[in-house]
Amino acid sequence: MDKGKVYLVGAGPGDPKLITVRGLQCLEACDVVVYDRLASPRLLHHVKPGTERIYVGKLPDRHTMKQEEINQLLVDLALQGKTVTRLKGGDPTIFGRVGEEAELLYDNSIEFEIVPGITSAIAVPAYAGIPVTHRDLASSLSIITGHESPDKLDRSIHWDKVTNATGTLIFLMGVAKIGYIADQLIRHGKPPHTPVALIRWGTRVEQRTIVGTLETIEAIVREANFQPPAVIVVGEVVLQREKLQWYERKPLFGVRVLITRARAQASELASQIEELGGEPCEFPVIEIKEPSDSTAIDLLRKHLSEAESYQWLMFTSVNGVEYFFRWLRKFGIDIRRFHAARIAAVGPKTAEALIQRGLTVEELPVKFHAEGLLEKLDSELLSGERVLLPRGDLAREVLPRELKAKGLIPIDIDVYETVLAEEQDELALEWLREKEIHMITFTSSSTVTNLLEVLRRRGVSNPVELLSDIPIASIGPLTSQTIREAGLTVSIEPESSTLDDLLQSLVDYQQTHK
């Protein structure tokens, strides 16, 4: 068997978007990913289906796997012919022990590649508004480990040389030793009033920053019960934070939002939440798929083949548009055969999906649901007209029922099905149980019912109780009704049922509940 290859990849400091392009390529190509605690779990969404995931992370009071065992694990996996990505927080060459891992790979004649990452020593202060160098304040910096016991620190650090060697001192993993570090720096010449900042979980939703001086910082850390992991910055550059902090000023900073949409649809919402400073947690409870029943497919073919007979095409979702065109391609039906039909859409996103395909859409309703569409088009709907409704299997009956009552002939076809999603991130469930989810978004009634069902299947005996104290955001009144019927409370509902308005409502809520 041919030997595999190992990529020793720096995952960056925590924000998953700070991984390098090369690091992302290694994740997408690997057969096995070996990851630790400081690598963002959201990066695992980029691995291909079937990729083996092995957690070897370390906690302050517990080591899942010793370093020597990790080294050997990488060798064993490569000897099985697998492509392995070893995902390490920050940069693997800065206190990441990559040298030990790479050396054993070399000794076993296994090909490897070191992929640098953005180190927390620079990125974390930047996210706290602290540039580690500044033309007027610091033209050099030192990166020092602060993790060892005081006697080991004294053996590994020449305090008399380090203290004034550079303008900025960066200590990694030194929260527990902050008092000793401060004392040593003062003893060896640093002024007691030298500014100090500690940034915990930098670049993540949990980021927290405290600031003091060498003579006050130990008491501040103790009073705040400030816990690792954190980066310590010593130097005048800390004062730049007063003007330059940008991340912590974002409107959704510190907010982790659970997204229950189908994974294929969640990316737009997740990206916008990130832009606003929040952390999206994707927990898809629905999956959108094509109908597989042969009778349903035959019926689809029949109704779509009658393209010339329709006076109206009415779309109620982006999914309806997407799957409508998929079936046209599958059946070889030219969209121009629907030349006699006027086209209507329930909301702006649905209309946009049609416009992108070169189709003209009738005026949009003021209220983005079936009732609004009927109200808008009421004077233009004529008895006897045939209306094709490409929708999902869970679509409400309001539209075809009311069209029929007006004398029209609605042809309701299920171009897609909404089913319970089988795969969710275990970490999201853990966050729910530990009350580390700060908001939940529901964009359809099916996301509400399916989330409760998924939680039951995962062993949660009372899902409503688990979710009861988390603010819930609903896309609109119909979804809100389902939420309330389930026994939950709606905290956020936009005036218009659009993602943009939902996001603005999240921001407004957060600003009034800080």
What strands, in cross-sheet order, belong to the sheet with 386-392?
A: 286-289, 409-420, 386-392, 312-315, 342-345
Residue 36 among the catalytic residues = yes
Cα–Cα dist 307/330, whole Å: 15
Q: Hey, what long-range contacts does 69-73 have (CB within 8 A, 24 or more apart)? A: 70/34, 70/101, 71/100, 71/101, 71/104, 72/104, 73/34
Our answer to whether residue 173 is catalytic in this structure is yes
Whether cis (ω within 30° of 0) applies to the bond prior to 284 is no
The catalytic position among 36, 91, 412, 414 is 36
Q: With contact defined as beta carbons under 8 Å apart, do 372 and 365 qualify? A: yes
Q: Which of 184, 180, 178 is nearest to 164 (CA)?
A: 184
Residues present in the chain in total: 514
Among the options 3, 58, 82, 349, which is catalytic?
58
| The pair of three-digit structure tokens given for residue 402, joined into one six-digit string | 């009311």
As given in the structure block, the two tokens for residue 68 are 């020597």
Among 5, 173, 414, 439, the active-site one is 173
Residue with tokens 């995962």: 458
Residue 221 in 3-state DSSP? helix
Q: Look up 1 and say whether it is catalytic.
A: no
Q: What residues contact 491, with CB distance under 8 A and at least 6 apart?
A: 471, 472, 473, 509
Q: How far is CA 407 from CA 85, 385, 401, in A?
A: 62, 8, 10
Residues involved in catalysis: 36, 58, 173
